[in-house]
Amino acid sequence: MELRAEGIGHRYGALDVLDGIDLSVREGEILAVIGPSGCGKSTLLGILGGLIRPTAGRAAIVGDAPQGCLNALTYVFQDFALLPWRSVAGNVGLALEHHPLSRGERHRRIADALALTGLADFADAYPKQLSGGMRQRVGIARAIVVRPAVLLMDEPLSALDAQTRELLQEELLAIWARERTTTVYVTHNLMEALRLADRIAVLSRRPGRLKDLIEVPVPREMRGEPGHAAALTALHDRLWQSIRPEAAAADREIVDAA
């Protein structure tokens, strides 16, 4: 399924957050969205998934959802958004409860998602018993249990420490490789974008406009090889040069969103 941003703009009261975003997320790709803080990355993701109503333009989908898909546009949240009163299996199963599935199918899906995210031994644990990394694995399991057509990931690793982030990047790629689910990955971390994405959309500071759309020139599976380090470093520098003045300006801005 292809996901499109068609002239999306958004205002919070007098605050202009997004302006004229035209973007197409191709089927089966990982598109990273980066930009300085406050540039509207998360707002754009909210609009793309139907959680925020845009004040201009629209989000649109092209094509059909894959077989077995129960929720075409599915989020992974920065703060995990887990129910503390439910176990790991209960949190993952929540996404299935309003669908007419047989008991067997429900259990099979939950078991698959838990196995894929390394949570099989933690099915009965409660969120408060888990580390940040494990909590986000629950968030990811809950997202893939519905076999989404598009995964919308809102800075999913930014609340985690650097080492856990590394581990989860590897796991995310392994999970993605299985279904090749179309993914929009919002991050402020250039290295993360360079490691995961096929293309990187760069937003300007507020109001966020699409400043650049860059194809990562090295195939994903070869990005760890020393031979490609120079190309990736050059791209990193180019991205940073593009973002740096915006980030510096955004950093000094007085925010009054109220």
Partner 1 sequence: MPPDAAARPVDFRAGGFEPRPGRTAPWIAAAAILGAWQIASAAGLLPDLFMPSPEAVITALGRMWASGELTLHLIASVQRIAIGFAIGAAAGLAVGFAMGIVSLARAVGLPIVSALFPIPKIALLPLLILWLGIGEPSKVATIALGVFFPTALATKTAVDGVPRNLIRMAQSFGMPAFAIVLKIVAPGAMPGILGGFRIAASIALILVTAAEMIGAEHGVGALVLGAGNLMQTDKLIAGVVLLSIMGLLVAAGIGALEKWLLRWR
Residues that bind partner 1 (CB under 8 A): 49-51, 71, 73-75, 77, 79, 81, 83-86, 94-95, 97-98, 126, 128, 142, 146
| Min dist. Cβ of residue 225 to partner 1 (A) | 37
Let me know: does 128 contact 83? Beta carbons within 8 Å: no
* Residue 196: CB minimum distance to partner 1, A: 21
Task: Give 86's contacts (C-beta < 8 A, 6+ positions apart).
Answer: 94, 126, 127
Cβ 95 to partner 1, closest distance in Å? 5
d(CA 140, CA 116): 10
11/86 with CB nearer partner 1: 86
Kindly state the smallest distance separating residue 82's Cβ from partner 1, in Å.
8
Confirm if 165 and 195 have CB atoms less than 8 A apart: no
User: Smaller CB distance to partner 1: residue 15 or 69?
Assistant: 69
Residue with smaller CB distance to partner 1, 120 or 125:
125
Sheet containing 150-154: which strands, arranged edge to edge? 73-76, 150-154, 182-186, 30-34, 199-203, 210-215
Burial class (CB in 10 A: 0-12, 13-18, 19+), 110: buried
Is the CB of 159 or the CB of 167 nearer to partner 1? 159
If the CB atoms of residues 50 and 217 are measured against partner 1, the closer one turns out to be 50
Beta bridge partners of 182: 150
Nearest approach in angstroms of CB 240 to partner 1 is 31
